[in-house]
Structure 1
Amino acid sequence: MSEAGLTSPFPEPEAPKPTVRSRATLLKRLADVVCLPSSRINAFERSMTADLLVEMLRDANVVEREKVARRLATLSEAPGVLARLLLRDELPVARALLMEAERLSDSDLISCVNFAGMEHRRLIAQRRGVSEVVADALIERAEPPVIEVLLRNDLVKLSHQGVENIVAITRDAQHLIPLLLRRPELRPSHAYVMFWWSDAEARRTILQRFAVSREILQDAVGDVFAMASAEGWQDPLSRKALQFIERRQRNRAAIEKSPYESLDEAVAAAEAGITRELAEEISYLSGVKPMTGAKIFTDLGGEPLAILCKATGLPRLCVRQLWRGLRRQEVDRAGVTDAGLERVLTVYDTVAVDRAQTVLRYWNWSLTSALTPALLKAIREGDEAAVDEYSAPQRAAMLALSRDFDR
C-alpha cells in the first residue's frame, strides 16, 4: 500500500521462511546432547538442554516431534519434563516412548493416563511390569478396552483395590470376567461377589477354584468353640468368625421356633409355590439371613439353589422341589430335563458339602455382616464412590446388592 492509499502492483517481498534443514538438525543435536552418558554431561546441563528442547518441540511439527521421541526412547531415563510432554502428545509421537522406552517413571505414566487419550492408556497397559499405582490409575478410568489389555498382561501388578474396582466394572463388561478369573490376585471375596452376575461357565470356574474347604480352620480352632460356649458367646467378633468356621450349617434355634419340624419339611412345602414368608423361613432354618436367601431365590441362573441344598444336607430331590416352587421350567418340549435345571443339578452333584458351606457362608457374611444405615443408604443411592469407607464385607454387599435396590 502506497502513501496515497493505492495498492501497489508489485507484491511486497515475503519474509524468508525458516530453513527446515537447520531446524531438523538443531532438534537432532539437542536430542543427542540430552542422550549423552552421565560421564559426558552433568544433570544441570542435561536439564538445561531438555528445557530448550521442550520449547522448540512445542512449535515443531508431528514428524519432528516423533523423531525426537524415537531418539529418546533409547535413553535409560529421559528428563521428566521432556518425557511428560511427548507422552501426552499425539499417538504417533507418544507411541515410540510407550512401546520402546524401557524405563519411564510412574509419575510420568500416570500423567499420560490422566491427560492423554484411551489409545495411550491401552499402550501403557501393554507395557512390561506395569506397577500397582499405574494400574490403579488405568482402572479408575473404567474403560473396558484398556482393562482388557491390562488383564491380559501377565507382568502387570494389580492391587487389592484395583481388583475390587475391576469386579465392579464387570457388571457392565462381563467379557472381562474370564480374564479376571485368570488373575492370581483375585480373592474369594472378589469371586463370590462377581458370581452373581457371571454366566454359567464363569460360575463353574468360581465354584471349582474358590469353593475351598474349611478343614484347616476347623482343626486350628476346634478347642475355641468350647471356650466361647463357656463364656456364653458374649464376644460378637468371635461368635461371627466361629459361625463361619463351624461344621453345622442348619440353625437349630430357628427350628425350635419354626412352624415346620425340619428344613426338609419347609422345602417340601415350598414345592407348591415359594412365598416371601416361606423363603424367609427356609433362610432362617438354613442358617442364613433373609437377604441372602432372597438373593439365592431370585437368582436367574439357579446355581445358588444347589449350593443351599448341598450345604444344608438336603437331598437332591429338594433342588427340584425348590425349582418347581419358583415356577421354573423342568422339561423342554421334547420331554428332556431343562438345560438350566440340569446344570443346577450338576452343581449339586459335583460340589462337596464342606465346600458348599464355605460358599454359602461367604455369601451370607459378605452380603449381610455389616449392613449399617450408612451402607444401606449408599446401596439405595448407588453411591459406589463411597466404597472406600467400608470394610471388605460391606464393599461386597454394595457391589452385589446395589442393582437390586434399583429395581
Structure 2
Amino acid sequence: MNLPPFPSDLEPTPEAAQASRARGVLLKRLADVVCLPMSRVNAFERAMTADLLVDMLREAEPAERKKVARRLAGLVEIPASLVRLLLRDESDVAEELLINAVVLSDADLLDCARMTGLEHRRLIALRRGVSEVVCDVLIEFGEILVLECLLRNDDARFSTGGVEAVVALTRGDARLTATLLRRPELRPAHAYVLFWWADAETRMIILQRFAVSREVLQEAASDIFAMAAEENWQDALSRKALQFIERRQRNRAAIDKSPFDSLEDAMAAAQHGLTREIAEEISYLSGLKPMTGAKIFTDPGGEPIAVLCKATGLPKPAIRALWRGLKRSESDGAGGMAPALERAMLVYDMIAVDRAQTVLRYWNWSLTSALTPALLRAIRDGDEDSLDEYSAPQRAAMLALSKDFGR
C-alpha cells in the first residue's frame, strides 16, 4: 500500500481531531507501552514513551485523557511527568488516579493539592492511607467539605499540629466537631480547649470521655513532693508539673494574702454580686490563674462552674450561689429550672473530684501557657491583650469580667 506523505505542518480542525480514530488508537498503544513490564521495556524507553504521551495528552480531549488515566491507574510505578499532568487535569480525569492509583507519592499529592482546586483536594482526602504531611496541607486550606471527608477517613493519619489546627477551625464551624470527636488522635489538651465553644451535648461527651484520673501520676511522683519541699520548691519546672499532679486543688498560700478567710467565705460574698475583685480571689483560692477564672465565670453554659465547685470540694449549693452572683435566671419561665443551671447540676453529680481537678488544671494550663500554640491562639481569639502594671492573665481576666458584667 502506498501511503501519502506525512503532513507534519498540517494542523487538523477541532472536528477532525475529535473524530480521529488514529489518535485514539495511538494514545492507547502509547499507554500500553508505558504499562509494559521492565522485562519488555527499559527505563529510558518508558520515559521516552511517557514524554510523547504527555505531549499528545496536552491537546487531547478530556475523554481521551480520562481513558489514559484509567489505563495507568493500576501501574506499580507511573512516570512522574504523566502523574503531574493527569493530577493537575480536570477533576474527572484526575479522579481516575486519585481514587484508583495506590502508588501516588506524597510529593504527587501535595503538588495536586496546591495546584488544583477543592474537588481535587476532596478526592485526595478520600484516599486510603493519607499521610500526616498531606493531611497538614489539606487542613491549611480550611475547606469544610474537604475536612469532613478527611475526618471521616479512618485510614487518614493526623499529626498533632493538624489536630490542633482542626480544633481551632471548629470555633468557626461546628460541623466538624462531631467527626473530630471520633478521631483517635484527639487528646485531652485538644478536647478541653474545644469545650469552650462546643454545644451542650458535645461538652457532656468531652467531660465523660476525657476527664481522666491522675492516680497513676500521683503514685509515680508520691515521693517527689517531699524532695521538692526540701528544696523549697525552687525548681520552676518540677513545681509546675507537681502542681498539676497533686491531689489538693485549693491554694493554701493564697489564704494568707486574701481578704477572705476561706474559699467558702469568698463564695458567700459572691452570691450578692460577683465583682472582678471577688472573682479574682476565688480564682487564686481555687489554685487558678485569673484568666482561667474569668473564662469559667463568663461562660454562659454553666458546666465550667460545676467543674470548679466539684474540683475544689465545694457543696452543690455553691453553684446556685455563683449563679445568683452572676445575675443569671434560675428559672426557665415555666416553673422549671433554667436549662443551663440544670446542666451544671448534672455535671456536678456526674463527675468525680479527681477528674474534675484534671479538667480544671488542663483549662488553667491551656489558657496560660504555650503548651499548644494553635489552641492557645484559638482560645484567646478576640481577647484584648494589653500590657500595664498587671500581668497579662490578670489584665485579660479583668477585661473579660468587665465586659460580661457591664462594668
**TM score, norm. by length of structure 1:** 0.89
5+ residue gaps in structure 2?
1-10, 386-402
1:305 corresponding residue in structure 2: 305
1:362 corresponding residue in structure 2: 362
Partners of 2:74 and 2:101 within 8 A in 1: yes
1:382 corresponding residue in structure 2: none
Partners of 2:76 and 2:103 within 8 A in 1: yes
CA deviations 1:33-77 (Å, max 9, x no partner) are 111112211111111111111111111111111111111112222
What one-letter code is carried by the residue in structure 2 that aligns with 1:362?
Answer: Y
**Cα distance in 2 for residues equivalent to 1:236 and 1:395:** 24
What one-letter code is carried by the residue in structure 2 that aligns with 1:66?
Answer: K
1:377-392 alignment, distance < 5 Å = 391-392=370-371
1:71 corresponding residue in structure 2: 71
**Cα distance in 2 for residues equivalent to 1:54 and 1:392:** 49
1:5-404 alignment, distance < 5 Å = 17=16, 20-369=20-369, 391-404=370-383
Q: Secondary structure at the match of 2:39?
A: coil
**TM score, norm. by length of structure 2:** 0.89
What one-letter code is carried by the residue in structure 2 that aligns with 1:397?
Answer: L
CA deviations 1:199-241 (Å, max 9, x no partner) are 1111111111111000110010111000000011010001000
**Cα distance in 2 for residues equivalent to 1:101 and 1:395:** 34
Q: Secondary structure at the match of 1:402?
A: coil
What one-letter code is carried by the residue in structure 1 that aligns with 2:236?
Answer: P
5+ residue gaps in structure 1?
1-13, 370-390
Partners of 2:168 and 2:375 within 8 A in 1: no
What one-letter code is carried by the residue in structure 2 that aligns with 1:239?
Answer: R
1:385 corresponding residue in structure 2: none
Kindly state the Cα deviation for residue 259 of structure 1 after the two structures are TM-superposed: 1.4
**Cα distance in 2 for residues equivalent to 1:123 and 1:392:** 34
Partners of 1:307 and 1:348 within 8 A in 2: yes
What one-letter code is carried by the residue in structure 1 that aligns with 2:109?
Answer: L
2:398 corresponding residue in structure 1: none
Q: Secondary structure at the match of 1:392?
A: coil
**Cα distance in 2 for residues equivalent to 1:117 and 1:15:** 32
What one-letter code is carried by the residue in structure 1 that aligns with 2:378?
Answer: L
Q: How many residues are paired up? A: 373
Q: 1:15 to 1:113 in 2, by over 3 A?
A: closer
Structure 1 stretches of 4+ with a deviation exceeding 6 A read none
Q: 1:240 to 1:186 in 2, by over 3 A?
A: same
CA deviations 1:323-350 (Å, max 9, x no partner) are 1111112112221111111011100110
**Cα distance in 2 for residues equivalent to 1:197 and 1:157:** 25
Q: Secondary structure at the match of 2:96?
A: helix
What one-letter code is carried by the residue in structure 1 that aligns with 2:380?
Answer: L
Q: Secondary structure at the match of 2:382?
A: helix
1:384 corresponding residue in structure 2: none
**Cα distance in 1 for residues equivalent to 2:12 and 2:219:** 89
What one-letter code is carried by the residue in structure 1 that aligns with 2:210?
Answer: F
What one-letter code is carried by the residue in structure 1 that aligns with 2:349?
Answer: D
Partners of 1:87 and 1:94 within 8 A in 2: yes
**Cα distance in 2 for residues equivalent to 1:279 and 1:15:** 81
Kindly state the Cα deviation for residue 403 of structure 1 after the two structures are TM-superposed: 2.4
Kindly state the Cα deviation for residue 397 of structure 1 after the two structures are TM-superposed: 2.5
1:8 corresponding residue in structure 2: none
Partners of 2:131 and 2:157 within 8 A in 1: yes
Partners of 1:366 and 1:394 within 8 A in 2: no
Partners of 2:167 and 2:375 within 8 A in 1: no
What one-letter code is carried by the residue in structure 2 that aligns with 1:243?
Answer: Q
Kindly state the Cα deviation for residue 78 of structure 1 after the two structures are TM-superposed: 1.1
Kindly state the Cα deviation for residue 180 of structure 1 after the two structures are TM-superposed: 0.7
Kindly state the Cα deviation for residue 107 of structure 1 after the two structures are TM-superposed: 0.7
Q: 1:394 to 1:96 in 2, by over 3 A?
A: closer
**Cα distance in 2 for residues equivalent to 1:121 and 1:129:** 15
Partners of 2:365 and 2:371 within 8 A in 1: no
2:3 corresponding residue in structure 1: none
Deviates more, 1:88-97 or 1:14-23: 14-23
**Cα distance in 2 for residues equivalent to 1:341 and 1:131:** 44
Partners of 1:367 and 1:393 within 8 A in 2: no
Kindly state the Cα deviation for residue 393 of structure 1 after the two structures are TM-superposed: 4.3
CA deviations 1:346-387 (Å, max 9, x no partner) are 001100000000010111112113xxxxxxxxxxxxxxxxxx
**Cα distance in 2 for residues equivalent to 1:117 and 1:307:** 45
What one-letter code is carried by the residue in structure 1 that aligns with 2:160?
Answer: H
Partners of 2:165 and 2:374 within 8 A in 1: no
What percentage of aligned pairs have identical amino acids? 66
**Cα distance in 2 for residues equivalent to 1:239 and 1:129:** 42
Q: 1:83 to 1:393 in 2, by over 3 A?
A: closer
Q: 1:334 to 1:59 in 2, by over 3 A?
A: same
